[in-house]
Structure formats: structure tokens, C-alpha cells
Amino acid sequence: MMRKKKTYAGNPVITSIYTADPSAHVWEDGRIYIYASHDMDPARGCDLMDRYHVYSSSDMANWQDEGEILRSEDVKWGRPEGGFMWAPDCAYREGKYYFYYPHPSDSKWNDSWKIGVAVSEYPCHGFRDLGYIDGLGGFGMIDPCIFVDEDEQVYMYYGGAAQCLGGRMKGDMLSLDSEMRPMEGLYDFHEAAWVLKYKELYYLMYSDNVQPCNNMRYAVSSSPLGPWKHKGIMLKPVGCETTHGSIAQFKGEWYLFYHNQKISGQGNLRSVCIDKLFFEESGDIRCVEQTGQGVMACDDSFTEIMAVDYDGEITENGCLFDHVDGGQGGRASLRFYYNNASGCLSKIYLKVNEKEEFLINLLADREEADITIDLKCGENRILLTRECGDAIVKSMDIVLLDGGEA
């Protein structure tokens, strides 16, 4: 069967699992990628966050889950209890993708933040952890943002607990080339720094400390390290306490990537959204309108994808797909087709070859849920167990992302 093409992305745009803190980038292959953190369901504050997923698109409306790229278990220097894989960023240089993530190195998590780096030759798989950046970290120091200027100079920004620091990085993408210095002129900085350049001006977007829900503000400067001039609010509260996002230009249009709690109603089970962003003639950013429809496909580049279909064996408590052909093994994009007439969010637990994977959301106003996982070569067993709600999964299709015929 063909996977259908969407005309509008819808908000939230990622619905099957909870995702937050989206960092969006357009890479050499002409696609746009979102590097998101993952709010593990059920949540315990933001403590259990783990398993970064990457999403990619050629048209802004149809997003492919590219699968998991890193989890706390892979971080040898990290806190023994794991979790706390918070807001990441990614940068490209000379054929390699560098993934930056904040993670504590000790059980006393908020005193021991470090900025870890993983590297790959690919934008969305194959990442290996390289350790952390010497000279960065400490109490509340989270949310790395990497900005590569037009002259190829690389800058690092990060911070939390009301402190934002910035500095130059070396071309190795792993070490600092200057002291990190306070970014001056920001009004009410909380966390979530994001830097970009538009025309001749640098923009630093960040979240403020307003309670119970933060705003997103921005400041401008003629230099990448400030001093900054505060300009105002560019995203009003999204409904949950945190606000965090990124800005990217894709095929001529500007977009804001952010998160809200629309699916769960819980501030620590968030979902990535996208809306259009506009610069005024003056260079000011117009306050972004948060829509339910989301952004429209920006062109016809997404062609319907041929997938292999499976009918599920519907059981009293879920659905079983046995003898699923994983081809030569590797990443597989699963799409579950379901009926959810209850009007409420349903959840199913996914197990692949007896390995616990995720709770998957089956939204009342949708009929499909996507997730990318690893399948082994040959036959696989995929079991869905009802966690809550009345949705019934009937069938599934699979696209093998790493090649290999199913």
C-alpha cells in the first residue's frame, strides 16, 4: 500500500511519542531535520527523559521518524542512573554531523551538567559518543546551541538558571577557542538559547522566567557574542511551563519549531509543533501565531511511499504481528492503522522481539501512528498491548529505511 501524503502538518506535528526541545536544521541533502528530546511516558518531572529521535522532511508537512540516535546508556561518562537527556542541538562540519546534548555526570544531577558530543557521517543515524566538552558545564548549565557563521567560525551558547554564556569553538567541534562569557543585554533570561543570523543581524531567542508559563523572547546584536538588545516576546506561552525551540529557513520560508502539552495536558509530556515565522521589514520578528492546522506542504517533493502491509491478529488486550520480515535488518518505519471512536487519547505499549520499546499515543482525531525502531534480519514479532483507552489497532505497514527488501 502507498503511504498517503499530508497537505498540512497539523499541530502537534509529532504525535506517536512525546517529543520536546526541537532543534531544526537544513542539511546538505536538502532535507530539514528536527533533533528532539523525548519525554518518556510516564514521566517523573523531566528526570526520565531519554532516547533522542530525529525527524526529517522534504516539504514541512510529511515528517519521517528516522529513529533513535542516542540514549543515556550509551554515555559512559554519564550519571549512573541515566535519564536527564535534555534539549540537544546538532551541527555540520566537513562531512560530519556533531550532536550536542546536556547530561549530568553525577547522581547530583543539577550540579554536574556537562555538554556531551556524539558524531556521525550521517544526519540521522550512526552516532557515536565522543565524551564531553572540557571547560563547559556546572550548576544548571544546559541547552547547548551551536551557531556556524558565514565565515565558518563556530560559536557555542548554553545556559540555564538565569545565566547565558557564549564563546568561540575550534574547528574540531569538540573544544573551546575562547572563554565562555556572559551574554549581556538579555532581559529575564531563563534557558533555551538559539542563535541565528538574518540579513546582517544576529538574533538570540530564549525563554524567560514568567510563571506559570514562560514566554519566548529575542534580542539582536551586530556581533555573534553581543552585547544584545532586547526586542520583546516572539512566542506567547504555549500552555506548559517550559518553552523551547528553534528557527529555520526552508525553501524560502521561515519557521518556528516549539513544543506544547496539547496531547497530554501535562507539562512534562510535550509535543513538537511548527508554525510560520515572519520577519517585518524592520527586521523585527512578528509574534508567532500558534495554529492547530500547522504549516502547509511547501512543495510537491514528497512522493507517496510504497510500504509492506500486515494484518494484525487482534487479541483481547491488543494486537500481534508475528513473522514480520525485517529484510536484512536495520531501521524500520512502522505505521499502525487504528480505530479510536472513544474520543479520548488511547495508548498502546510496543514490544519488539520481547524487547520493551515505547508507549505509543493513538489520538482520537487521527487514524495512524508512526514509530521507527530497529528490526533484526529475518522474522520479527511485534506486540502491542493496550495501556489505556479503547482504540483498536487493525493493521500495520513497514518501510525499511536502511535498504534491504522485506
Beta strands, E only, 139-245: 145-148, 154-160, 163-169, 181-182, 189-198, 201-208, 216-221, 229-235
To ligand FUB, the closest distance from the beta carbon of 192 in angstroms equals: 4
- Of the candidate residues 24, 34, 36, 46, the single one contacting ligand FUB (CB under 6 A): 46
Of the candidates 52, 86, 97, 147, which one interacts with ligand FUB according to CB under 6 A?
A: 86
Would you count residue 208 as binding ligand FUB (CB under 6 A)? no
| Listed residue (138, 132, 123, 143) closest to 64, CA to CA | 123
**Residue 83 or 326 having the CB closest to ligand FUB:** 83
Site for ligand FUB in 267-326 (CB under 6 A): none
Residue from the set 37, 215, 221, 261 that interacts with ligand FUB by CB under 6 A = 37
Tell me which of 192, 277, 288, 398 binds ligand FUB, using CB under 6 A. 192
Based on the shown chain and the rule CB under 6 A, indicate whether residue 164 belongs to the binding site for ligand FUB.
no
CB 68 within 8 A of CB 333: no
Site size toward ligand FUB, by CB under 6 A: 12
Q: Does 369 bind ligand FUB (CB under 6 A)?
A: no
242 interacts with ligand FUB by CB under 6 A? yes
Within 13 Å, how many C-alpha atoms sit on residue 47's CB side?
9
Helix (H, G, I), strand (E, B) or coil at 110: helix
Query: How does DSSP assign 334-380, residue by residue?
Result: EEEEEE-TTSS-EEEEEEETTEEEEEEEE-TT-SEEEEEEEE-SSEE
The residue (of 57 and 207) whose beta carbon lies closer to ligand FUB is 207
Active site residues: 21, 191
CB of 9 to ligand FUB, least distance (A): 21
Residues in a beta bridge with 65: 55
Sites for ligand FUB among residues 119-148 (CB under 6 A): 142-143
CB of 120 to ligand FUB, least distance (A): 22
Question: With the CA atoms of 125, 372, 45 and 82 taken in that order, what torsion angle do they form, in degrees rounded to the nearest 10?
Answer: -50
Q: Considering the rule CB under 6 A, would residue 244 count as an interface residue with ligand FUB? A: yes
User: Shortest Cβ distance from residue 176 to ligand FUB (Å)?
Assistant: 21
- Of 260 and 333, the one with the shorter C-beta distance to ligand FUB is 260
What is the C-alpha to C-alpha distance for residues 201 and 41, in angstroms, rounded to an integer? 40
Cβ-contact 69, 23 below 8 angstroms: no
Residue 50 within binding range of ligand FUB, rule CB under 6 A = no
- Shortest Cβ 87–ligand FUB spacing (Å): 3
User: Site for ligand FUB (CB under 6 A): which residue of 17, 20, 195, 225?
Assistant: 20
3-state secondary structure 44-95: CCCCCCCCEEEEEECCCCCCEEEEEEECHHHCCCCCCCCCCCCCCEEEEECC
Nearer residue to ligand FUB within complex by CB, 115 or 400:
115
CA nearest neighbour of 272 among 21, 16, 7: 21
Residues 6+ apart with CB under 8 A from 185: 219, 221, 226, 227, 228, 229, 230
Of 21, 68, 275, 357, which one interacts with ligand FUB (CB under 6 A)?
21
- Least gap, CB of 15 to ligand FUB (angstroms): 18
Contact flag: residue 191 with ligand FUB (CB under 6 A): yes
Taking the complex as a whole, the smallest distance from the CB of residue 101 to ligand FUB amounts, in Å, to 10
Integer angstrom CA distances of residue 32 from 183, 254, 336: 29, 12, 24
Nearer to ligand FUB, 164 or 398 (CB): 164
Q: Which CB, 168 or 236, lies closer to ligand FUB?
A: 236
Complex with ligand FUB: residue 52 or 321, whichever CB lies closer: 52
* Helix%, strand%, coil% for the chain, nearest 5: 0, 50, 50
Distance between CA 406 and CA 379 in Å, rounded? 10
What's the length of the chain?
A: 406
15 three-class SS? coil
* 87 lies in the site for ligand FUB, by CB under 6 A: yes
Q: How far apart are CA 170 and CA 183, in angstroms?
A: 19
Kindly tell me which of 191 and 357 has the beta carbon lying closer to ligand FUB: 191
Instruction: Of 141, 156, 227, give the one whose Cα is nearest residue 186.
Output: 227
Q: Please report how close the Cβ of residue 144 comes to ligand FUB at its closest, in angstroms.
A: 10
Residues that bind ligand FUB (CB under 6 A): 20-21, 37, 46, 86-87, 142-143, 191-192, 242, 244
